[in-house]
């Protein structure tokens, strides 16, 4: 069966559906003027450019517009690389939701981006690895002077970053059970916090989280109204797909 080259499906039953599709052309980040709402650099909510650190070009576009750039960091066969897409094991083919990327697509070596941004530019390192050994490899690539936020849904791989200077650690909650665990069974150390999708940040949940840590980040907000609501509620950082809305 030949591969289609159209837009991804909105539905499906799992990654096997993606075998029929290839990636659409993804838009670059917009460069239109931004509304002056962001207050991160004056001590308020920090704005993080989602996925902007996955290529040198998008990282350059985000510089000067946000407080932090996010990198999706994978370790594949010993190489530290940047990409949002997953690998379809046991092959090296990359896939995103409901479609395959063209054959030969590969992640960007992390040094390509790190060498293109100032060493003191704050970075959010979204760890997509599953072992502490891989996390150690990621840490070794980072300059000690670079301020980072290390975040992952695989909480056990955060250990190598706990004693790194200029580092904050986020327990990312990708499911309800992870959020429940964070609310009831997790003790947060200084400079440790949590990252939760905005739809799960009800007023009651946010109040409970703020009793445990002031370092609360969120992703998924798509309107300026929701961004402002989260800012006013005391959310410390916001990860946005289109930072030009802020």
* pLDDT tens-digit series, residues 82-126: 997 677 767 777 657 776 757 766 789 999 999 999 999 999 999
Using one digit for the tens of pLDDT, what is the confidence trace for 209-228?
Answer: 999 999 999 999 999 999 99
Whole-angstrom CA distances from 233 to 37, 201, 204, 216 are: 15, 10, 11, 11
**pTM of the prediction?**
0.80
Edge-to-edge strand list for the sheet holding 93-96: 86-88, 93-96, 99-100
As given in the structure block, the two tokens for residue 231 are 């800012």
3 state DSSP class of 86: strand
Please check whether residue 70 is in contact with residue 53, taking contact to mean a CB–CB distance below 8 angstroms: yes
Which residues of the chain register pLDDT less than 70?
Answer: 1-43, 85, 89, 94-95, 99, 101, 104-105
d(CA 103, CA 153): 28
Strand 192-197 vs strand 216-219: parallel, antiparallel, or unpaired? parallel
C-beta separation of 206 from 232 below 8 A: no
Rounded CA Rg of the chain? 18
Read off φ and ψ for residue 230, nearest 5 degrees: -70, -40
CATH number of 27-84+107-245: 3.20.20.190
Q: What are phi and psi of 183, to 5 degrees?
A: -70, -35
In the chain, what are the domain boundaries?
A: 27-84+107-245
The DSSP result for 186-199, as a single string, is --PPTTEEEEEEGG
């Amino acid at each position: 069966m030949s591969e289609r080259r159209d837009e991804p499906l909105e539905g499906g039953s799992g990654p096997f559906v993606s075998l029929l599709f290839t990636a659409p052309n993804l838009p670059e980040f917009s460069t239109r003027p931004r509304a002056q709402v962001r207050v991160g650099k004056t001590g308020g909510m920090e704005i993080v450019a989602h996925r902007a650190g996955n290529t040198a070009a998008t990282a350059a576009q985000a510089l000067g517009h946000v407080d932090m750039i996010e990198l999706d960091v994978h370790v594949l066969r010993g190489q530290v690389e940047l990409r949002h897409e997953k690998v379809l094991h046991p092959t090296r083919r990359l896939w995103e939701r409901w479609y395959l990327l063209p054959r030969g697509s590969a992640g960007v070596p992390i040094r390509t981006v790190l060498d293109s941004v100032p060493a003191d530019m704050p970075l959010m390192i979204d760890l997509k690895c599953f072992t502490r050994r891989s996390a150690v490899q990621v840490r070794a690539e980072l300059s000690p002077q670079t301020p980072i936020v290390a975040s992952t849904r695989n909480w056990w791989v955060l250990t190598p970053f706990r004693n790194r200077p200029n580092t904050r650690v986020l327990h990312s909650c990708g499911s309800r059970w992870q959020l429940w665990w964070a609310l009831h069974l997790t003790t947060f150390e200084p400079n440790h916090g949590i990252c939760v999708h905005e739809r799960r940040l009800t007023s009651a949940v946010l109040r409970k989280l703020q009793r445990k840590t002031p370092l609360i980040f969120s992703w998924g907000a798509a309107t300026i109204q929701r961004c402002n609501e989260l800012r006013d509620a005391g959310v410390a950082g916001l990860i946005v797909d289109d930072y030009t809305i802020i």
